[in-house]
Structure 1
């Protein structure tokens, strides 16, 4: 019988609470998270326990790790694993949450957004410049810039959506409802602009970009809908 297994994450920027609830459900079945893995978690078989989970986002130096873990341990939160600036903790039900006020919660999501923004902003800018170059160039240069733009878009578009989701979490924590609403409307607006561009322009580079944008919005939206529906069904069963 297998003693370990892998489960996917919904993406902490998109579904942190759902991920933590999912880990709790698995603990109730005797599968306890032991670490992070690419786009998910590693679970180990053990006794059935009711545990709650939480994450913290913070850059920690190696010499600070022990003190950091002890600080949370004194509050009832046991450190499980870390991946970069993301740290996963487990506690007994009823333990006081790691973050209980707006100021520290905002700080948490600012910490989570910082590394994402450092990656997303230059990637998006470089991608935009490459697409502009592809639209105004000809011949071999056009082919080169188009290929480079496509390759970079594969990384830049998901990074941009992740950065937007991380920003939304920060705005929610800071009770900035207008920004939250705009963040939900932005993908729809981008999708409408993309469809409009498809109708108005017959430039190959533009049409390729539009198809990529439409796919980048439609595919994650479909995955999100399926995962949300699955999460709701499982929650109703519990």
Structure 2
């Protein structure tokens, strides 16, 4: 009987392993499976689940954004924006350090920590922090700005900024992307950081999913435990 229970437990666990990686928990009006896969490729750290921890409602402000996201670890921010020409874009950024309402600048003096990036999924295009081997080593240092009156804000430019009402944004490249493109917007490539309307905004935390090899090791370990249990039963 004990043998059957052990085998049954291993079978149940095997069936419980996720059949498909990369779930979007809590849903999203902005991100589908292909967009999720694109974020995984840009991050380059394998597959992960996303959990929607903040979706802007009509009256939400930067204080609501921080209440939902501060101290939650790395996040993806996505926003649908519309410029004066009526063009719509899906843009956002990856914040490796997590948000805070009091920290001010999150600086990254070392290249090892310059792992943030901003992106335009409509293009698609990704803009990573400028590394320290550039003629001005500090250009890519300021990863995010963290203040109660700021929505999600990336870079010195600001490279991607959302205001306190969470209803307007602009982009002025400095910290992210090609330094020769300083002053351009990652949204519509206009010059001068023109304000755009934020139509929707969502923030997601990440939960890495173990690779299949990890599952194989787990099941192999269970098999060894099962064998040890059987031997123990025989000895008794």
- TM-score calculated relative to the size of structure 1: 0.24
More strand by share: 2
More helix by share: 1
- TM-score calculated relative to the size of structure 2: 0.24
Select the structure with the greater relative contact order (CA < 8 A; seq sep ≥ 6).
Answer: 2
